[in-house]
Chains A and B, each alone.
Chain A
């Protein structure tokens, strides 16, 4: 286990290093001169002459080797200094952290909803595959995968906000404004989680050791509760983490539609406005969190399923 943790941590560090380097390169890869971009972040228009540009490049160390610049940038970011936003002229950190809080609550809300629906549905479905209930549940989950969020969201708004007027159309003010975004965001995870639970339960119910547990005198119900369900749910831990990580920055559509001031909205605005420092800061935070979450999930999975370690080592 210890060996596994060390190995996984090394991967984590490597992943963060590689992806942060990619983020660091963004201003160099996007069209235009990096120095001009920095100037644009401080001065509006073309009021700066060539000599000042040259001077700035030198004083910022932009002529240094790329690696040295990268290390300096990493140091700054780690210290909380992600630079100034081109657009709002405020420190990036001050925009990213509140957005992160909003996105986190949205993601927790919708994944919580997804899990609490997927568990009963998947278990019912998986315990009696082929039954009428299973067929209905499978049909619904398949339909949910195929539903684009940018279609569901306007339709929900049309029905609940415009026609029925029971929920706000957009914004992030009171708890009721979280309902539609959370539901929209939950649709596809519900579908994926339900299929994963169903498949896990079917697999685990077919295992020989379940028969052996019946031969030890457990009733069908006892054997289902003690062996089939716990084993069947193990794969969900990984899937949950993948979705959690993915939604940290991937709720772009929902946040844009419902005007939720979260990370998705922030990244979208940053990209659209060419606000490179803001985009860099946002992506670094999202990626680091995502890598941490998936690593943690791996550890949890390993803990829930100890045999896995032996077979993969």
Chain B
């Protein structure tokens, strides 16, 4: 029990720290991220360049700090948009039932069968690279896990006695959704959102790695790995450092998400036999 609490605390603090550093990057970064210094190409870590430099002599640390903003904000926005869309669809599905539910669930099934990366490739191909298309690419398929979870939970809640009780005493559907359904969804959805943020962060990196995310000279964690890869044997830090940052952030949010998802049980009922 003790170790889990500390684990959660550590994960939360590390995450907050990284987010703060990334937000404050323009003031904290030792060099401008795009500043080239061709005399110092592929330099190993040193006092001047803590994480060394890349093949154009750009400071790796400064580029990581700068690149975080793109990766994290696309992932965060995609998480929020997929979450809102998914919860809306899932709750609608569960409350309306009938053909609406059938249609939305089947759509979800089809999207589940579509490889996420392929869909993303197509959106990017159709709309071009950049922030907006990337966000859309991740949202098209990204809402499905939220919709599945929200639908299952909303179904569950709607079948509980207190929702029927609320209907019997004349509460409107909107009241029931706001007061009974959504509060029950909150914790598991939050947990799912954290897990998805980690996943989306990795996906943003993947698209950037493939050259479909940010365009040079702007940096992004994924594209940094891609551009450092040909020089991996001479300057391994160019790959290791950005990857480690993605890994750390993804791990922290995963830990926090699983923690939140675990705390979904409603307040414990009295055990049988304490009735008297």
Q: Do chains A and B touch in the complex (CB under 8 A)?
A: yes
User: Does A53 sit at the interface, judged by CB under 8 A?
Assistant: no
Q: A18 contacts which chain B residues (CB < 8 A)? A: 110
**Bound form: Cα–Cα A29–B126 in Å:** 7
Mark out the residues of chain A between 251 and 274 whose CB falls within 8 Å of any chain B CB in the assembled complex.
Answer: 252-253, 256, 264, 267-268, 271-272, 274
The reply to whether B243 and A151 contact each other, CB–CB distance below 8 Å, is: yes
**Bound form: Cα–Cα A158–B239 in Å:** 10
User: Does B44 sit at the interface, judged by CB under 8 A?
Assistant: no
Interface residue ranges, B against A (CB under 8 Å): 106, 109-110, 112-118, 121-122, 124-126, 198, 202, 205-206, 209-211, 222, 225-226, 229, 232-233, 236, 239-240, 242-244, 246-248, 250-251, 254-255, 258
User: Does A149 sit at the interface, judged by CB under 8 A?
Assistant: yes
Provide the main secondary structure of the chain B interface: helix
Q: Which of B125, B126, B210 has the most CB of A within 10 A?
A: B125
Measured CB to CB, the closest approach of chain A to B261, in angstroms, equals 11
- Residue from B122, B202, B247, B255 within 8 A of A271 (CB atoms): B122
21 pairs, CB–CB < 8 Å, chain A vs chain B: A15-B110, A19-B113, A26-B122, A26-B126, A142-B258, A145-B198, A145-B250, A146-B202, A146-B247, A148-B250, A150-B225, A151-B246, A158-B239, A162-B232, A245-B115, A246-B116, A252-B117, A252-B206, A271-B124, A279-B125, A286-B118
The reply to whether B113 and A143 contact each other, CB–CB distance below 8 Å, is: no
A143-B251, A287-B113 are known contacts; what are 13 more A-B pairs with Cβ within 8 Å? A30-B125, A30-B126, A143-B247, A145-B254, A150-B225, A151-B242, A151-B244, A155-B243, A162-B232, A245-B112, A245-B115, A247-B115, A294-B113
**Bound form: Cα–Cα A155–B115 in Å:** 25
Interface residue ranges, A against B (CB under 8 Å): 11, 14-15, 18-19, 26, 29-31, 142-143, 145-152, 154-155, 157-158, 162, 242, 245-250, 252-253, 256, 264, 267-268, 271-272, 274, 279, 283, 286-287, 290-291, 293-294
Q: A256 contacts which chain B residues (CB < 8 A)? A: 210
